[in-house]
Structure 1
Amino acid sequence: MAVLDFTEDRQACQLPEPGQPVPAPGAPTGPGAPPVYIIDPAVLAQEARDSVSLALPRPHTSPPEDGFQLVGLQTWFWIDPGQWRPVTARAELPGIWAEVTATPVTTTWTPGDGGAAVVCPGPGSAHPGTTGARTECGHTYVDLGGFTITVDMTYEVTWRASNGVSGTQAPIVVSADLPIEVQQRQAVID
């Protein structure tokens, strides 16, 4: 989890240093009274969101992407399962913090041949190597050639603050490309 340091921002905004008292709403004002700061936890949550570190998805295919795909044979799509996990980040100021959690919800695969995008509710899976296996997260190529598969991994973003306030933010989408070659093979029968 990333934790942000707002040392420069604190100085620019004349916020008290850590450990210094922060006046409560309704605190006395006037000459000599300390300034009153009201920190919007949603703004702090945005700072936390900006620091979320999400790796690009690592796409894979079956048949393996380092070989070639075959015309008429379904290509399975998946990303490394270890990437399918929530990621958190926190931003803090004296007296308050906000934590953001980005949770993966879908992978969207654009096959690169003009075919429709495939939306998967998870990371997909490798072919199990058994006859008759099926996947909802795949595509059947009908043309020969070189194509670029694009995978978009969408994260749902929620946040919560130390004062009990919480909310949602716009989704985060990270993308990666995978070049592939589609070939045709024919069986020879004697």
Structure 2
Amino acid sequence: MPTPRQVAEQAFEQLRLPLPAPRHSPDLRLADGRVATVVGEHTWFWTDRSVWAPQTKRVQTGPVWAEVVAVPAAMTFTSGSGGSSSCGGPGTPYDRSYGLHAASPDCDFVYTASSFGKPGDQVTASLGIRWRVSWTGSTGSAPVGGTLPDMLSRASVTFAVVEAQSVRSR
């Protein structure tokens, strides 16, 4: 008969975490159809809130059972141009009410150079969710539990980073 810890490790292996659904703003469309953001602007990053929820997997063998719970703990962002950041939550979707050049309250990145010269003149950014994992279970006669290693689900998005020129007049 397996131990509850062994059953928890089996549930851990079977747990399938949702991938982040990367979103960003500015989210421009270039004339050739590519998606883009702008050099020097606060590029807001977030994931769809539906993926930011605890995930569970339960496995039972006879009277021995274990349930693994993965809870989203942080979101990581890798820019595709050498920079990265970490956010404590799913990020905040951009809304015009924040203002045109505003920083995100929790998750943004400022690109300092265009993606010109990179493959396809684009960057491939990565959004990851770090999950804290715990488990509870029973030997059939006594409750048990503990923690397991953190998990990571990651998705990428490709877009151009473009320069915008402007003229100011008084």
* Shorter-chain TM-score above 0.5: yes
**1:106 maps to which residue?**
74
**2:119 maps to which residue?**
none
Alignment of 1:47-58 (within 5 A): 47-58=10-21
Whole-Å separation in 2 of the counterparts to 1:107 and 1:134: 17
Which amino acid in 2 is paired with 1:149?
A
Quote how far apart the aligned CAs of 1:69 are.
0.6
> Structure 1's 65 and 90: CA in aligned 2 closer, same or farther, altered over 3 A?
farther
Preserved CA contact (<8 Å) 1:65 1:180: no
**2:109 maps to which residue?**
139
Task: Kindly report the root-mean-square deviation, in angstroms, between the aligned alpha carbons of the 2 structures.
Answer: 1.6
**1:166 maps to which residue?**
145
Which amino acid in 2 is paired with 1:51?
Q
**1:126 maps to which residue?**
93
Quote how far apart the aligned CAs of 1:124 are.
0.4
**2:118 maps to which residue?**
none
Whole-Å separation in 2 of the counterparts to 1:118 and 1:179: 17
Whole-Å separation in 1 of the counterparts to 2:148 and 2:168: 59
Quote how far apart the aligned CAs of 1:65 are.
6.6
Preserved CA contact (<8 Å) 1:127 1:133: no
Greater CA drift, 104-113 or 51-60: 51-60
**1:156 maps to which residue?**
132
**1:76 maps to which residue?**
44
Alignment of 1:175-186 (within 5 A): 175-186=154-165
**1:29 maps to which residue?**
none
**1:42 maps to which residue?**
5
Quote how far apart the aligned CAs of 1:133 are.
3.8
Instruction: Report the secondary structure of 1:124's partner residue.
Output: coil
Instruction: Report the secondary structure of 2:10's partner residue.
Output: helix
Preserved CA contact (<8 Å) 1:74 1:140: yes
Quote how far apart the aligned CAs of 1:95 are.
1.0
Whole-Å separation in 2 of the counterparts to 1:140 and 1:52: 35
Cα deviation 1:72-102 (Å, max 9, x = unaligned): 1110010101100000001101112100001
Quote how far apart the aligned CAs of 1:128 are.
2.2
Quote how far apart the aligned CAs of 1:180 are.
1.3
**With CA pairs under 8 Å and 6+ residues apart, which has the higher RCO, 1 or 2?**
2
Preserved CA contact (<8 Å) 2:4 2:66: yes
Whole-Å separation in 2 of the counterparts to 1:178 and 1:125: 17
User: Percent same amino acid at aligned positions?
Assistant: 32
Cα deviation 1:133-166 (Å, max 9, x = unaligned): 4323111111111111111211000000033100
